[in-house]
């Protein structure tokens, strides 16, 4: 369950939803989660929000109480459900960073994924890809003015400098 940041007081926040679920005995956590821009936003801004994540084992009990969730939960079960990570060069090491994406990121269209910055900024390769097309993603710059990530694939990364990938700039 995803809520846009500053959704307003007429909608329950992710934290309020989580509190309700916990009162029902459902184990959950609230995490930062970005989604693609809405179709009606001419500026194409990445939507930032927070998402209530329920432990997979608790899903059947949750659907039994809230039948309207059967569809979305079924869709999620089709996806890998794991997080997407990127590497970031730091002063003396390379860190693994979990990208703050809503759990349905594997179902986004290529255009939606690109709008969030999940494609290489140089060659455009979709960095969500699995199998033989999979490439390591590097965080290679600050978030753009639209709020998108700046990622570069391994083959497009500038040459290594002083033992550390020059991706920090
Ligand atoms: Zn590339």
pLDDT at 47: 95
156 CA to middle of ligand 1, Å? 4
CB neighbour burial string for 28-53, b if at least 16 within 10 angstroms, e if fewer: bebbebbbbbeeeeeeebbbebbbbb
Q: What gap in Å lies between CA 48 and CA 31, rounded to an integer?
A: 11
pTM of the model: 0.76
7 CA to middle of ligand 1, Å? 35
120 CA to middle of ligand 1, Å? 5
Q: Which residue has the higher pLDDT, 8 or 88?
A: 88
What confidence tens digit (pLDDT) does each residue in 66-96 have?
Answer: 788 777 777 666 554 567 899 988 888 889 9
121 CA to middle of ligand 1, Å? 7
127 CA to middle of ligand 1, Å? 9
Please give all residues whose CB falls under 5 A of ion ligand 1, grouped by chain where several chains appear. Answer: 120, 122-123, 125, 153, 156
Lowest mean pLDDT among 98-107, 109-118, 124-133: 124-133
How far CA 74 is from CA of 15, 51, 56, 67, 88, in Å, comes to 23, 17, 11, 11, 34
* Mean pLDDT, residues 42-66 taken together: 85
Is the Cα dihedral 162, 163, 168, 169 positive or negative? positive
Q: Return the top range by mean pLDDT from 9-13, 62-66, 109-113.
A: 109-113
Q: Which residue has the higher pLDDT, 53 or 144?
A: 144
12 CA to middle of ligand 1, Å? 40
93 CA to middle of ligand 1, Å? 22
pLDDT at 162: 52
What confidence tens digit (pLDDT) does each residue in 118-128 have?
Answer: 999 999 999 99
Longest alpha-carbon distance in the chain = 57
In the predicted model, is pLDDT for residue 6 greater than 80?
no
Instruction: Identify the band that residue 161 occupies on the pLDDT scale cut at 50, 70 and 90.
Output: low
3-state secondary structure of 51: strand
pLDDT at 168: 42
pLDDT at 86: 92
137 CA to middle of ligand 1, Å? 9
């Amino acid at each position: 369950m995803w809520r846009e940041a500053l959704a307003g007081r007429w909608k329950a926040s992710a934290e309020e939803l989580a509190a309700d679920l916990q009162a029902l005995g459902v184990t959950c956590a609230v995490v930062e989660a970005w989604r693609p821009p809405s179709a009606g936003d001419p500026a194409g801004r990445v939507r930032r929000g927070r998402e209530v994540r329920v432990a997979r084992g608790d899903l059947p009990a949750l659907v039994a109480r809230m039948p309207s969730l059967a569809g979305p939960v079924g869709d999620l079960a089709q996806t890998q459900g794991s997080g997407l990570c990127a590497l970031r060069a730091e002063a003396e090491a390379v860190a693994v960073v979990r990208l703050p994406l809503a759990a349905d990121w594997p179902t986004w269209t290529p255009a939606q994924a690109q709008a969030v910055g999940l494609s290489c900024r140089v060659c455009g390769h979709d960095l969500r890809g699995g199998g033989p097309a999979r490439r390591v993603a590097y965080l290679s710059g600050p978030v753009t003015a639209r709020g998108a990530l700046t990622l570069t694939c391994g083959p497009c990364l500038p040459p290594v400098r002083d033992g550390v990938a020059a991706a920090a700039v």
